[in-house]
Amino acid sequence: MRIRTASLLKKRKIIKKGGLAVSAVTLIVTHKCTLRCRNCAALIHHFKSPQTMPREQVFRDVGLLMDKIDYTHILLLVGGEIFLLDNIAEYVSRVLEYKDKFGLIVITTNGTIMPSDEELAGLAKFRKYINIEISDYEGKSVYLKSLQEKLRRHKISCKINNEEWREWQQIIDEQDDEYAKNNYKNCLAAVDSNFLLCDGKLYHCGFLASGATLRSMPYSPGNHVDLLDAGTTRADIIKYKSPGSVPPGCKHCGGYAKDAAFIKKAEQLSEPREYKIYE
Ligand code: SF4
């Protein structure tokens, strides 16, 4: 809690001085998952051949990000399911090269995999900087309690995420500009200063990030900020979050509004869900 408070104060101070400090950046390190949830906001249920991002690509992306921003309160490492991968501590140690530029690393898991003692001992070396968030997917998260206990033994902070699910960010048929404008206006991802980082690009949301890989919407440079382009400036990042610049991908998104209907958590599909692929 003390780290969080200090980090929020630091973020506020940087913004006051005119710097670019954001609330959170989510690094997608793998699309592989142990579950196939019908309403996954990262669209994992559409992937037929989910891949893990090459580690050097992830580390390159973190470097590109840190070149452009002054601070992020939280850096999240997510999948898919991150504990399908080994040596998560390597991600943490590489991110820590920029430890003046973030407050806390949050690692999220769905509680379906029990990491080994060796894995957790590796992470425990960085316990000062990390927090593990275990999603409670009502019965699917079979290791929820035992993982919590094991993390406690390794003195790694952890939090259970009991958040309810809503009908958010699903692929729909292409809508018109007016729909996209309203969708974006009501979107929770558009108003906060959270970003997703995947393959050298910053996105508003999992829908746009995974949609780019899946090609579930036509390609458009308006859907992301390209950190691989040497000409990209921090002004481009600020503009991307401005109310006037609607990503064209919002035409294909079912929305991410705070009043969307509640749904059953983590309902499973037996096969990847089909969708229209744009060439
Ligand atoms: S695609 Fe647009 S409307 Fe959908 S979640 Fe992302 S920013 Fe919001």
Ligand 1 geometric centre to CA of 245 (Å): 12
CA–centroid distance, 195 to ligand 1, in Å, is: 12
The answer, yes or no, to whether residue 176 has pLDDT greater than 90, is yes
Burial of 240-254, coded b for 16+ CB within 10 Å and e otherwise, reads bbeeeebbbbbbbbb
pLDDT band (50, 70, 90) for residue 16? very high
Atom of ligand 1 nearest to the CA of 249: 1
What's the distance, CA 82 to chain centroid? 12
Instruction: Using the predicted structure, report yes or no on whether residue 279 has a pLDDT greater than 90.
Output: no
Q: How do beta strands 201-203 and 225-226 pair? A: antiparallel
Pairwise CA distance, residues 111 & 147, whole Å: 7
Task: Please name the amino acid found at residue 8.
Answer: L
Q: What is the CA radius of gyration of the chain?
A: 18
If phi > 0 it is left, if psi is from -120 to 50 it is alpha, else beta; for residue 255 that is left
Q: Which pLDDT score is estimated for 242?
A: 85
Give the number of other CB atoms < 10 A from CB of residue 133.
16
Q: At what angle do helices 144-153 and 117-124 cross, to 10 degrees?
A: 50
CA–CA separation, 166 and 168 (whole Å) = 6
Is residue 89 within 8 Å of 125, Cβ to Cβ? Answer: yes
List, in order of start, the domains of the chain with CATH numbers: 2-263 (3.20.20.70)
Q: What is the mean pLDDT of residues 207-235?
A: 97
pLDDT digits (tens, 9 = 90+) for 63-108: 999 999 999 999 999 999 999 999 999 999 999 999 999 999 999 9
Which pLDDT score is estimated for 243?
A: 81
Band (255; pLDDT cuts 50, 70, 90): very high
What is the structure's pLDDT at 138? 85
Q: How far does the centroid of ligand 1 lie from the alpha carbon of residue 50, in Å? A: 22
Is residue 261 exposed (0-12), middle (13-18) or buried (19+ Cβ within 10 Å)? exposed
CA atoms of 256 and 167, how far apart (whole Å): 8
Arithmetic mean of pLDDT, 129-133: 97
pTM above 0.85, yes or no: yes
Peptide bond into 63 cis (omega under 30): no
Residue whose CA is at the smallest distance from ligand 1 atom 6: 205
Average pLDDT over residues 212-222: 97
Testing ligand 1's pocket by substitution, the residue of 26, 187, 193, 217 carrying the most ligand atoms inside 8 A of its CB is 187
Mean pLDDT of 151-165: 96
Query: What is the average pLDDT across 10-37?
Result: 96
Closest CA to 70 of 117, 22, 6, 116: 22
DSSP bridge partners of 159: 133
Whether ligand 1 lies within 6 angstroms of the CB of 134 is answered as no
161: left (phi over 0), alpha (psi -120 to 50) or beta: beta
Q: Give the closest residue (by CA) to ligand 1 atom 2.
A: 250
On the question of pLDDT at 4 being above 90, the answer is: no
> Residue 176, exposed/middle/buried by CB under 10 A (0-12, 13-18, 19+)?
exposed
d(CA 194, CA 240): 12
> Residue 224: pLDDT above 80?
yes
CB neighbours (10 Å) of residue 178?
A: 9
| E strand segments, 147-261 | 157-161, 165-166, 194-198, 201-203, 225-226
Confidence of residue 1 (pLDDT cuts 50, 70, 90): low
Output the residue whose Cα is nearest ligand 1's atom 1. Answer: 250
Sign of the CA dihedral 148, 152, 158, 163? Answer: positive
Average pLDDT of the chain to the nearest whole number: 95
pLDDT single digits (tens) 96-129: 999 999 999 999 999 999 999 999 999 999 999 9
